[in-house]
Structure 1
Amino acid sequence: MTAATNGKENGTRPFSRFELLVAGRYLRARRRDTFISVIASLTMVGIAIGVATLIVVMSVMNGFRDELLSKILGLNGHFTAFPVDETFTDYEDVKIRLEEVDGVVSAVAFVEGQALASGPYNSAGINVRGMTLEDIRKLPLLYNSAELGGWDNWDELEGVAIGQRLAQSLGVTIGDAITIVSPRGSQTPFGTTPRIRSYPVNVIYDVGMVEFDSFYVYMPLQSAQDYFRAYSDRLREGHEEPPLMATDEEIDAAYERVYEATAVEVFLQDPDATGVMQLPLEQAAERPMIFTNWQRRNETFFSALQVERVVMFTILSMIVLVAAFNIISSLVMLVKDKGQDIAVLRTMGATRASVMRIFCMTGTAIGFVGTFIGFVLGVILAINAETIRAWVSEVLGIALFPPEVFLLSALPSRVDAGEVTTVLLMALALSFLATLYPAWRAAQYDPVEALRYE
């Protein structure tokens, strides 16, 4: 009676040493429990694989989004301001006023147009952007990505900067000339003639994003203004219209050339503050301008990425869910196998709650170990994602995640502590919930019925 009473007291105390010993004993396989042990081991492996897969996939998608965002916003502003109706000749004044707004890091002016670039071996459609060296320095991603050549004397030299992939496609290197053809040329009695000019390659850059490295060509601002004829001739103050048969010298003396810009890009301290910053920027411009932000320009692209992240998380969570169901099956078999043990425990004074806690701890331990193994494996794989990709590509001889498709030259990965914590808590919660039904069934065992025929 005393032993039974002591057993009851020990059993009824939650998570006592008695309960931990029994739960640990059930986790250790004996010869006749080999099949159940194999099921539990496979369940543990399934949870580990699910957790690791979730961590790796979410980390890669985080890195993919961050890398794209840093590349896109590293070369394109958070706001792009286009002039309304009037010619944009006061772009320098507008740029200075926009930079004085609190929360603005910098503002750059540019001239832009599309053209065709031709080299010795190939031709390609390009986007030509003219910028001063001062403004290029405000774009560290571009300024620091020069692989060949340099930006010295950029404004004085009539050359261009092209991406590494475009240089390979055209078959040119530093010092070689490329021909740029614009369909918007001079007006003649026979129609519009294309504008064709050759420029030496002064800089070959590599920003690590296929779209920019193979499509964008930079040239000095004034060279781009002259090429695209982004200027107007105004009558100088104090001068009259020259006569009809005036000489070139008289025309040059009477008119001055005023250069224009296509737009001004604004870079903010906080890229997500576009809604708050739009009105102050519009007021600071002091002229009619249309402001478009990066979120609106790339809304479809980043919305698709967000939807893909949610869908991938949901689908991959099914792996953990299936593994959690395996906990139910392994525990149900364990309960069936340990029916007599449960009856003996009950007759020794163990309460229903104590029996239920024992089996809950048994199943949760399987989930905990699997989750921990998955966590370690997933973090290791996520941190070394690019190294593993390169090694697998080399071994198999195939291109995994080709840059032409995924836009980036390397596989990015960023482990987010918040998301990893969410994955771990989800796996542990599913593992615990999966133990409740088998543990409840074990607690309902009637010791009299279990021992009647023994």
Structure 2
Amino acid sequence: MAATTIDTKPFSPFEWLLASRYLRARRKEGFVSVIAAVSFLGIMLGVATLIIVMAVMNGFRKDLFSKILGLNGHVVVYKVGAPFDDYDNIAKAVMRADGVVRAIPLIEGQVMVSSAVQALGAAVRGIRENDLKGLPLVADNIRYGALDGFDEGGGLAIGMRLANMLRINVGDTLTIISPRGAATPFGTAPRSKTYPVTTIFELGMAEYDKTMIFMPLAEAQRYFSKNDEVDILEVIVTDPEAVEAASQRIRGEAGPTINVTDWRQRNETFFTVLEVERNVMFIILSLIVLVAALNIISGLMMLVKDKGRDIAILRTMGATKGSVMRVFLITGASIGVVGTLAGLAIGIVFCAYIEEIRQFVAWMAGTTVFDPNVYYLTRLPADINPVETGSIVLMALVLSVLATLYPSWRASRLDPVEALRYE
């Protein structure tokens, strides 16, 4: 009676046992184990690096987005060729549009500011007290002084970095000089006036903290000779991402006498560069994971060649081609799966403590890492996107499994007679 071969169930304990034995290092298989270790480290570091870099770039964009839109309006309403003196009526009309939260009249001007020790350029914004308090980015980040009585006090609110560079504090005076002063027979004379500093804020964005000055709207109208006019209306909407539809509704409510622009148009180049850089970094760093997957192929090919005699014996004892293929599939995929999970854990922990790590590296190196004057922000941000992180993990797992298919197939096609011919 002929013996019958009974195929084991796919991924049975027998196959897992063999795969685990092949993953363990032996003295004569040391080189194969080194390649497996390098493949594991490559997958782990590639996934961790990709998660960390993408989280930092997401955090960088999110923080810049919140800072820029937290201080600037989502939609800007202005007039061309006509004085903007009916801003209160336009603001009421704008507020009737769906999705509009606030309409803020502003006066904007470039000035030079000076103290007893320093003179610097700055941007002045004339704004009402209630509107300034309605900006959480400013109202929640007051370091010295207060905004109460801002309209009546006639003082200035300035950034922390500007105050440090001018070496002034709350209660000190600041001289503002504008090149657009009164017209005289000898030309335009610069306008100069001294104001007390009543408030110092810190927004966490170096560019704003060292250049921004808030002045009461009525005082700004007098200083810049605007009479009862403003330069623009900055409009805050509920959904900044849907700003185009909001702009259409605002234009419809305010009438044909006004022009409208939005934050995308005003910062188009800046945010486009960030998006392009983010996509390019993802592609470049994905190559690290791909190289690590290729290491799995080379390691498995060497393992298959080294285990040719074992494969032949297994085949003569009744192991099927599918069973042999699954053994090596488990062996290679285990390296990729464990490496991916380890990289995921390292990436999440690194992002959670990234600011502490930055400070430690700066302390060890004795230099500044992530200079706020260059990167705008005072802290290194990291924002892990679950969908993006999941796609990174899925990509690493797919590459790891695909990398094992060809070596596993070659192992299953090994002829037992040829393998044992010279044994």
The normalised TM-score by structure 2 is: 0.98
Amino acid at match of 1:38: V
Shift of 1:25: 1.7
Give the conservation status (yes or no) of the 8 Å contact 1:46–1:319.
yes
Q: Which residue of 2 aligns with 1:429?
A: 398
Give the conservation status (yes or no) of the 8 Å contact 1:112–1:262.
yes
Give the conservation status (yes or no) of the 8 Å contact 1:162–1:218.
yes
SS in 2 for 1:281: helix
Q: CA separation in 1, counterparts of 2:96 and 2:259?
A: 19
Q: CA separation in 2, counterparts of 1:89 and 1:438?
A: 77
Q: Does 1:366 align with 2:362?
A: no
SS in 1 for 2:383: coil
Q: CA separation in 2, counterparts of 1:436 and 1:165?
A: 59
Q: CA separation in 2, counterparts of 1:432 and 1:335?
A: 16
Give the conservation status (yes or no) of the 8 Å contact 2:351–2:382.
yes
Amino acid at match of 2:170: I
RMSD: 1.2
Amino acid at match of 1:340: R
Q: Does 1:178 align with 2:147?
A: no
Q: Which residue of 2 aligns with 1:268?
A: 237
Q: Which residue of 1 aligns with 2:136?
A: 140
Q: Which residue of 1 aligns with 2:98?
A: 102
Q: Does 1:352 align with 2:321?
A: yes
Match of 1:9 among 7, 13, 16: 7
Q: CA separation in 2, counterparts of 1:313 and 1:9?
A: 44
Q: CA separation in 2, counterparts of 1:58 and 1:369?
A: 21
Q: Which residue of 1 aligns with 2:49?
A: 53
Q: Which residue of 1 aligns with 2:264?
A: 295
Give the conservation status (yes or no) of the 8 Å contact 1:383–1:414.
no
Deviations 1:190-224 (A, max 9, x none): 11100000111111100000111011110100000
SS in 1 for 2:122: strand
1:337-348 equivalences in 2 (<5 Å): 337-348=306-317
SS in 2 for 1:151: coil
Amino acid at match of 1:9: D
SS in 1 for 2:107: strand
Deviations 1:69-89 (A, max 9, x none): 000000001101111322111
Shift of 1:17: 2.1
Percent identity reads: 51
Q: Which residue of 2 aligns with 1:381?
A: 350
Match of 2:195 among 193, 196, 199: 199
Q: CA separation in 2, counterparts of 1:444 and 1:202?
A: 82
Give the conservation status (yes or no) of the 8 Å contact 1:371–1:428.
yes
Give the conservation status (yes or no) of the 8 Å contact 2:312–2:415.
yes
Q: Does 1:281 align with 2:250?
A: yes
Q: Does 1:304 align with 2:273?
A: yes
SS in 1 for 2:398: helix
Q: Which residue of 2 aligns with 1:452?
A: 421
Rg larger for: 1
Deviations 1:32-86 (A, max 9, x none): 2222112111210111011100010000000000000000000001101111322
Q: CA separation in 1, counterparts of 2:386 and 2:301?
A: 35
Give the conservation status (yes or no) of the 8 Å contact 1:101–1:281.
yes
Q: CA separation in 2, counterparts of 1:412 and 1:9?
A: 55
Q: CA separation in 1, counterparts of 2:311 and 2:175?
A: 86
Q: Does 1:390 align with 2:359?
A: yes
Q: CA separation in 2, counterparts of 1:14 and 1:209?
A: 58
SS in 2 for 1:9: coil
Amino acid at match of 1:403: P
Q: CA separation in 1, counterparts of 2:302 and 2:137?
A: 60
Structure 1 residue ranges (4+ consecutive) displaced by more than 6 angstroms after TM superposition: none
Shift of 1:399: 0.3
The normalised TM-score by structure 1 is: 0.91
Q: Which residue of 2 aligns with 1:315?
A: 284
Amino acid at match of 1:107: A
Give the conservation status (yes or no) of the 8 Å contact 2:133–2:147.
no
1:24-63 equivalences in 2 (<5 Å): 24-63=20-59
Q: Which residue of 2 aligns with 1:247?
A: none
Q: CA separation in 1, counterparts of 2:29 and 2:292?
A: 20
Give the conservation status (yes or no) of the 8 Å contact 1:51–1:374.
yes
Q: CA separation in 2, counterparts of 1:165 and 1:370?
A: 45
5+ long unaligned stretches in structure 1: 232-258
Q: CA separation in 2, counterparts of 1:368 and 1:160?
A: 59
5+ long unaligned stretches in structure 2: none
Q: Which residue of 2 aligns with 1:210?
A: 206
Q: CA separation in 2, counterparts of 1:92 and 1:144?
A: 27
Q: CA separation in 1, counterparts of 2:324 and 2:302?
A: 16
Give the conservation status (yes or no) of the 8 Å contact 1:117–1:178.
yes
Q: CA separation in 1, counterparts of 2:152 and 2:191?
A: 22
Shift of 1:287: 4.8
SS in 1 for 2:84: coil
Q: Which residue of 2 aligns with 1:235?
A: none
Shift of 1:30: 2.3
Q: Does 1:188 align with 2:192?
A: no
Shift of 1:395: 2.1
Q: CA separation in 2, counterparts of 1:269 and 1:19?
A: 57
Q: Which residue of 1 aligns with 2:77?
A: 81
| Number of corresponding residues | 423
Q: Which residue of 1 aligns with 2:374?
A: 405
Q: Which residue of 2 aligns with 1:72?
A: 68
Shift of 1:31: 2.5
Amino acid at match of 2:258: M
Deviations 1:257-285 (A, max 9, x none): xx111110111111011121122101211
Shift of 1:432: 0.8
Shift of 1:142: 0.8
Q: Which residue of 1 aligns with 2:157?
A: 161
Q: CA separation in 2, counterparts of 1:393 and 1:183?
A: 42
Shift of 1:123: 1.0
Q: Does 1:149 align with 2:118?
A: no
